[in-house]
């Protein structure tokens, strides 16, 4: 019975929910008072990965409201981590771009959280388990896109 889709979905929901809460906790521990929030970092990472984007496209890709992305972008702009440019195809629209300061901050935060995650998986998972985790990562990313 555990390999039935219903049980797989349940177990995934529980495991990914716990992992998400723990990662948010780690991000929160590393966050100083005036550093970007979890959503701001997610938006910054999305812009770094996909390139310049509109606020509405960011809201869609992050599956949050336009208001939430607008607030996140305001915080990122206030901290000088992104720049706005005019969309060449539609001059009425703006596009968000990560700048050098944003890249530096993102690299530092990713290093901090990534180092913690690396330490945990290295110390607690076998080589075979690490291969399974590596194979699962793109599947989990695709699952997130499909939800």
Domains assigned to the chain: 35-146 (1.10.10.10)
Question: CA–CA separation, 76 vs 70, rounded Å?
Answer: 10
User: What pLDDT, in 10s, does the model give residues 2-14?
Assistant: 679 898 899 989 9
Scanning the structure block, which residue is given the tokens 């219903």? 6
pLDDT classification of 123: cutoffs 50, 70, 90: very high
Query: Any idea which residue has 């959280």 for tokens?
Result: 113
- pTM for the whole thing? 0.68
From CA 117, how far away is CA 113, in angstroms rounded? 6
Share of the chain above pLDDT 90, in %: 44
What's the pLDDT tens digit per position in 55-82?
999 999 888 899 999 999 999 999 999 9
What are the pLDDT digits (tens) for 85-109?
A: 887 777 778 899 999 999 999 888 8
């Amino acid at each position: 019975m555990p390999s039935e889709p219903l049980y797989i979905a349940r177990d995934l929901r529980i495991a990914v929910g716990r992992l998400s809460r723990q990662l948010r906790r780690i991000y929160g521990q590393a966050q100083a008072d005036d550093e970007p929030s979890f959503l701001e970092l997610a938006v910054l990472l999305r812009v770094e990965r996909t390139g310049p984007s509109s606020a509405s496209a960011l809201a869609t890709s992050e599956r949050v409201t336009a208001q939430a992305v607008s607030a996140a972008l305001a915080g990122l702009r206030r901290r000088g981590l992104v720049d706005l440019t005019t969309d060449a195809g539609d001059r009425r629209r703006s596009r968000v771009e990560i700048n050098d300061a944003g890249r530096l901050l993102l690299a530092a935060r990713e290093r901090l959280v990534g180092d913690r995650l690396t330490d945990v998986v290295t110390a607690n998972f076998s080589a075979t388990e690490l291969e399974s985790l590596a194979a699962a990562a793109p599947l989990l990313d695709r699952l997130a896109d499909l939800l």
